[in-house]
Structure 1
Amino acid sequence: MKQTALVTGASAGIGRALARQFARHGHDVVLVARREEALEDAASEFEDRYGVTATAIVHDLDADGAAQALYDDVQDRDLDVGILVNNVGVATYGEFHETDLDAERTQLRLNVETLVVLTRSFLADFRDRGRGKVLNVGSTAGFVPGPKMAGYYASKAYVNSFSEALAVENRTTDVDVSVLCPGPVETEFQERAGMTDSLVGSVFTNDAESVAAAGYRGLLAGDTVILPSLLSKATYYGERITPRPILRRIVERVNGDR
């Protein structure tokens, strides 16, 4: 029997596409997001189309203690989660001294704190039972510094590095940890971040479905870093040979207005 996958931020974008991949391949799914109508729509789609059990949990992860409360809720429902997909995330855009501080806090909570708490909780369960998988959605942004999106790039640097380290810690077990690192993807993410007038916000290297398909394949193959496009591969390897001062200026230009 295939393991049940829990996906955060599953109501739209990459999260919904990832949940669809798991359902398509016969996994029951636990869908977590704060938008009830979109979440119920996704659950109905997956059950009707793929014949799996899709459990929708309406949960706002942008609150103190929300990640732990979600884990506790999953345990109370006796949902046997064997795959954790940490997808939920947001971005702030603009020069840091001008961005909204509450938005910066939300970004840290969703992109980093929630991921850490859920990974810590479920990973301990996976280790105890001797199997399980964690897929964290990082970004090519985490490979470089990001002027105009300093907090977002830094948060994804944490996700990328954290995931790679956990993959090493668990390499002798049957627990796999992978990080999916797409470049810009055509979702509502850019609009929510207020970056549609930027160069990076108007250039998409992948659609959500192809990114999700690459993420699913990479996770099942045990890949540590999953690079779903030629541009993501170029960024990953290119930043290793590009001098940091030049790299910073390139990203500043990419994140600037068109």
Structure 2
Amino acid sequence: MNKTVLITGASGGIGKELADRFAKDGYNVVLVARSEDKLTELAKKYQESYRVQATVFAKDITLPGVAEEIAAELKKKGITIDYLVNNAGFGLYGEFLKTKLEQEMNMIDVNIKALTIMTKLFLPDMVKRRQGGVMNVASVGAFYPGPLMAVYFATKAYVLSYTEALENELSGTGVTVTALCPGPTATGFVGRAELGSSKLYQSGVMEVGKVADEAYRDFLRGKTLIIPGAIHRFITSLPRLLPRKVMTRSIRQRTEQVDR
């Protein structure tokens, strides 16, 4: 019987690329995102091209009770989740005093709350079966403070810390927990976060396919921390070598808009 992976934020970017790779290798997929048209199109492609089962949930997982509804519907259909990819998330650019509280609360709901709830719902059964894996998508920003994106960087620090703690707790259970920490990547994230003209993204981004290739391979190998790209692995080592204030100033300089 084919194993099944549930992916949030599956309609585009890293989530969609990971779904492509799982489906191509014969995994059944459960696709979760708000865009019904995109998910339906993907599901049709996977069913026709790879002969796998594709289940679609066009829902906003930040709304109260939605994650629980998804879990209940999957149980009703007899679909067991072997792998969970918590990919849904977004960023917000701007000084904290000028950004909108509503957007930041929504970002916390997506990046932290929904991720935690989804893990809480599907992880226990994986442990009972003594097999499975959870991938939480964080960021290289999880390793340091992020002026001009203060709340976003903080949410990703939570994801990284939470993931590494779970990995320790689950040692010996047969279930792996992985944090994917990509650097700047060519996805829709850049436009939504209004980062296209920042020095960080002007200096170059990784192709989303390359990020997904490394993430997919290392996740199935059970790796705890995945940082695609040698330059990003180097960058994440700097907080151990440089004073915190130096790193914070450096990140601000990299995040500032080019036209400022």
Q: Same fold (TM over 0.5)?
A: yes
Specify the alignment match of 1:133 in structure 2: 133
> Structure 1 9/256 Cα, relative in aligned 2: closer, same or farther at 3 Å?
same
SS of residue matched to 1:102: helix
Percent sequence identity over matched residues? 38
**Amino acid paired to 1:89:** G
* Offset at residue 2 of structure 1 (A): 4.0
* Offset at residue 203 of structure 1 (A): 4.0
* Offset at residue 78 of structure 1 (A): 2.1
> Structure 1 28/183 Cα, relative in aligned 2: closer, same or farther at 3 Å?
same
Which runs of 5 or more structure 1 residues have no equivalent in the other structure?
Answer: none
Question: Is the 2:5–2:83 contact (alpha carbons within 8 Å) kept by the matching residues of 1?
Answer: yes
1:23 equivalenced with 2:5 (yes/no): no
Question: Is the 1:148–1:255 contact (alpha carbons within 8 Å) kept by the matching residues of 2?
Answer: yes
**Amino acid paired to 2:160:** N
> Structure 1 148/22 Cα, relative in aligned 2: closer, same or farther at 3 Å?
same
Specify the alignment match of 1:73 in structure 2: 73
Correspondences of 1:182-221 after superposition (within 5 Å)? 182-221=182-221
Specify the alignment match of 2:55 in structure 1: 55
Length-normalised TM-score, structure 2: 0.95
Once the two structures are superposed, what CA deviation does each residue of 1:40-98 show, in whole Å capped at 9, x if it has no partner?
Answer: 11112222222211111111123223322322232233211110000000111100111
1:151 equivalenced with 2:151 (yes/no): yes
Question: Is the 1:184–1:203 contact (alpha carbons within 8 Å) kept by the matching residues of 2?
Answer: no
What is the CA RMSD across the aligned residues, in angstroms?
1.3
* Offset at residue 215 of structure 1 (A): 1.1
Specify the alignment match of 1:3 in structure 2: 3
* Offset at residue 217 of structure 1 (A): 0.9
Question: Is the 1:205–1:229 contact (alpha carbons within 8 Å) kept by the matching residues of 2?
Answer: no
The count of residues paired between Structure 1 and Structure 2 equals 258
> Structure 1 17/204 Cα, relative in aligned 2: closer, same or farther at 3 Å?
farther
**Amino acid paired to 1:194:** E
Once the two structures are superposed, what CA deviation does each residue of 1:134-179 show, in whole Å capped at 9, x if it has no partner?
Answer: 0111110100100000000000000011111111111111101011
SS of residue matched to 1:98: coil
Specify the alignment match of 2:247 in structure 1: 247
C-alpha separation in 2, matches of 1:88 and 1:202: 24
SS of residue matched to 1:216: helix
Question: Is the 1:7–1:85 contact (alpha carbons within 8 Å) kept by the matching residues of 2?
Answer: yes
Specify the alignment match of 1:38 in structure 2: 38
C-alpha separation in 2, matches of 1:99 and 1:252: 16
Specify the alignment match of 1:163 in structure 2: 163
* Offset at residue 257 of structure 1 (A): 0.8
C-alpha separation in 2, matches of 1:201 and 1:43: 32
